[in-house]
Amino acid sequence: MNDSLFFASFDPLFCEAPDACELCDASLPIFQYEYCTQNQNNERQYLKGFCCAACAAQLLQKLKRSEAREWAEEEIALRADDMDVTEFRRRRLAAFRDEEPARQHAGTAPARATRG
């Protein structure tokens, strides 16, 4: 699976941006975003919209959790094939040291995102 997240600025004078972040409804949006998820069947789902800085940080954390889960699953698969995962594990733990297994499975898609 290959998820992606893109942010872009926009000109509020020439763009029909909403008056509030489409994810939290609490702050003014400052970014356009596109979040793409890909399932095990290689089907993609696109979430597009406008968001505030706080929600942009949450989207980035969601992507990080997804990637941490992918790396952990890859390590399990390599170990099942009797491969030495010492270096891979060292890198994974260093990259995602603040991601605990219980936290890696938390989080859902933003409720108010638009599909495009």
For 21-42, what is each residue's pLDDT tens digit?
999 999 999 999 999 998 888 8
Cβ 5 vs Cβ 33: under 8 Å: yes
Within a domain: 116: no
Distance, in Å, from the CA atom of 31 to the CA atom of 59, rounded to the nearest integer, reads 12
Within a domain: 19: yes
SS3 at position 74: helix
Domain limits for position 56: 4-109
Structural domains of the chain, count = 1
Interhelix angle for 86-95 vs 53-80, to 10°?
170
Cβ 66 vs Cβ 57: under 8 Å: no
Within a domain: 59: yes
Across 26-30, 99-103, 110-114, least confident range: 110-114
Record the pTM: 0.75
Q: Which helix (H) or strand (E) holds 92?
A: helix 86-95
The residue with tokens 């356009």 is 32
SS3 at position 19: coil
Within a domain: 87: yes
